[in-house]
Structure 1
Amino acid sequence: MSLYIGREASKLWKRFWAEVTTEINLLIENWKYLLAGLICQYIHGLAARGVHYFHRPGPTLQDVGFFLLPELGQEKAYISETVFNFVFISFFLWTFHPFLLKSKRIYTVLLWCRVLACLVACQILRIVTFYSTQLPGPNYHCREGSKLATLPRPDNAVEVLLIAPRGILYGCGDLIFSSHMIFSLVFVRTYQKYGMQRFIKQCAWLIVVIQSLLIIASRKHYTVDIVVAWYTVNLLVSFIDYKLPELPDRTGGPALLLPLTKESRTKEENHKLLNGNSGDPVDRRLRTPVSSKILENGNTLHVDTMMNGV
């Protein structure tokens, strides 16, 4: 029993380091895209803080969601944040599953390049939208009488450029459309396309719907902020998916980006000697297995299978 556990642990360790090597190579090639995406996240945070300086509290606007959904109250506002954090953390951990699991469809670095591209496109449109018109915030700390509803004029540039967690939690003015919904919808759509568990996909969409209702019930956003996020994010992600090259699928065969281990290389060389093949084993692995025909340079070549070995 201990021998079996040790053997499986050794396989897991080799798989982990093979994946690390592959992802490092991909990171070297794509680090500029990841860095640009992270910088845009910071710019989005600055923009959300900047609009808080322009926010002026006023009467809460009439909203159909406020009439239909019971108000949770300020003491229960954490519920929607808890649901969002669950979605965020679950997706983040899932993107690293290729390091441990044998069944995989994605490369982590390439997937995050795609996710960040979707987030940046949505956030740019969001910045333009909430700077165009500032609405009185419906959240409790954004209402008239709250000291947090307006920000005093900054004394220096550091105060503007420094984004504190308190400023993120107690922001006002960045309403149309919801940033929480941007992240949740991008994550769920990504798992819908690249995930492999149908039940989890169904649960993920249900959770996002529940999160939408909780955000309105917590009075963190107007209903229009949620509705606009639903169709805007989905349309933008669909457009970006159409424009960007598709990620390599790892379920159809061996991962070509993964380095060959010593054991697998030895098996390839033995197979070549036994069958009299002179081609390189990597080149042979790149070919599509032949059953009845081969597609080469756009032309169809029929191959007759001979039973006599000639």
Structure 2
Amino acid sequence: MTLYIRRGSSKLWKRFCSEITTEFGLLAENWKYLLAGIICQYIHGLAAKGVHYIHRPGPALQDLGFFLLPELGQERSYISETVFTSVFVSFFLWTFHPFILKSKKIYTVLIWCRVLAFLVACQFLRVITFYSTQLPGPNYHCREGSKVSTLPWPKSPLEVLKINPHGVMYGCGDLIFSSHMIFTLVFVLTYHKYGTKRFIKLFGWLIAFVQSLLIIASRKHYTVDVVVAWYTVNLVVFCLDKKLPELPDRTTVLLPVISKERTKEENHKLLNGNGVDPADWRPRAQVNGKIDSNGVHTDNSMNGA
């Protein structure tokens, strides 16, 4: 039993090291896109903070979702954030599954380049929208009488460039459309295309729908913020997905042609899926007759046999 555990650990370590080498090569080629995406996330945070300075609290607008969904209250507002955090962490871990699991369909670096492209495009539209019209925030800390409904004007340029993590939870003014739904829908759409488990795909869409209801019930956004996010994110992802280069497919596996000249060690590597010469991989169809060592089919059937 100990021997099998050691062999399994050794294979897992080799697979991990092989994947690290592959991903570092892709990172060297695509680091500019990743860096640009991360910088755009920072710019989006600055924009959300900037609209908080000019936010003016007021009575909440009439909203259909507020009439249909009971208010969760401040003591239960964490439920929405808990669901969103679970989606974010689950998707993040899934993008790194090729380092451990054998079922490799994606490259981690390339999938994050694609995800960041979707996020940046959606957030660009979001910034334009919430700066066009500032609505009074329906959240508890954005209502009249709250001390944090409007930020005091900055005393230095450095204060403007500094993003307070506290502002992620207590921002005001950046309403149309929901940032939480942008991330959730981009993650669900990405897994729907590149994931392999049908049950998880269906569960992901269910979670996205529940997340929408929780955002409205916790009064973090108006219903329009969620509705606009649903069709905008889907349209943006659909359009960009047609323009971006498709990810290389890692699921196509061809059966190896094992010749007599191969050593036992080489055949063992083939059976375990380790790297081999691509010329040694050929499709093998089930036919009558024999296949010689050169891969040529010899038909043994004769007329009248």
TM-score class, shorter-chain normalisation, is 0.7 to 0.9
Distance 1:120 1:288, change over 3 A: farther
Query: How many pairs align?
Result: 279
Q: Separation in 1 of the partners of 2:285 and 2:72?
A: 62
Q: Separation in 2 of the partners of 1:161 and 1:306?
A: 73
Q: Which residue of 2 aligns with 1:275?
A: none
Q: Separation in 1 of the partners of 2:251 and 2:167?
A: 43
Q: Which residue of 2 aligns with 1:212?
A: 212
Asked whether 1:31 is paired with 2:31, we answer yes
Q: Which residue of 2 aligns with 1:242?
A: 242
Asked whether 1:153 is paired with 2:153, we answer yes
Q: Which residue of 2 aligns with 1:284?
A: 279
| 1:143-292 paired onto structure 2 within 5 Å | 143-253=143-253, 267=266, 282-285=277-280, 289=283, 291=285
Q: Separation in 1 of the partners of 2:190 and 2:135?
A: 31
SS in 1 for 2:298: coil
Following superposition, the deviation at residue 288 of structure 1 comes to 5.7
Asked whether 1:306 is paired with 2:301, we answer no
SS in 2 for 1:234: helix
Q: Separation in 2 of the partners of 1:288 and 1:194?
A: 26
SS in 2 for 1:204: helix
Unmatched 5+ stretches in structure 1: 255-262, 272-280, 293-302
Q: Separation in 1 of the partners of 2:15 and 2:115?
A: 25
Q: Separation in 2 of the partners of 1:304 and 1:167?
A: 68
SS in 2 for 1:221: coil
Following superposition, the deviation at residue 304 of structure 1 comes to 8.6
Following superposition, the deviation at residue 307 of structure 1 comes to 2.7
TM-score, normalised via structure 1 length:
0.86
Unmatched 5+ stretches in structure 2: 255-261, 271-275, 287-294, 301-305
Q: Separation in 2 of the partners of 1:290 and 1:98?
A: 27
Q: Which amino acid aligns with 1:50?
A: G
Q: Which amino acid aligns with 2:127?
A: I
**Superposed CA RMSD:** 2.2
Q: Which amino acid aligns with 1:13?
A: W
Q: Which residue of 2 aligns with 1:274?
A: none
Q: Which amino acid aligns with 1:289?
A: P
Following superposition, the deviation at residue 167 of structure 1 comes to 1.5
Superposed structure 1 runs of 4+ greater than 2 Å apart:
287-292, 303-308
SS in 2 for 1:155: coil
Q: Separation in 1 of the partners of 2:104 and 2:278?
A: 23
Q: Which residue of 1 aligns with 2:259?
A: none
Q: Which amino acid aligns with 1:63?
A: D
TM-score, normalised via structure 2 length:
0.87
Q: Separation in 2 of the partners of 1:7 and 1:81?
A: 42
Q: Separation in 2 of the partners of 1:283 and 1:172?
A: 56
Following superposition, the deviation at residue 166 of structure 1 comes to 1.0
Q: Deviations over 1:42-93 (max 9, x none)?
A: 0000000000011001110000000000000011110000000000000000
Q: Which residue of 2 aligns with 1:276?
A: none
Q: Which amino acid aligns with 1:20?
A: I
Q: Separation in 1 of the partners of 2:230 and 2:139?
A: 20
Q: Which residue of 2 aligns with 1:297?
A: none
Q: Separation in 2 of the partners of 1:138 and 1:249?
A: 45
Q: Which amino acid aligns with 1:62?
A: Q
Seq. identity, %: 71
Q: Separation in 2 of the partners of 1:73 and 1:133?
A: 27
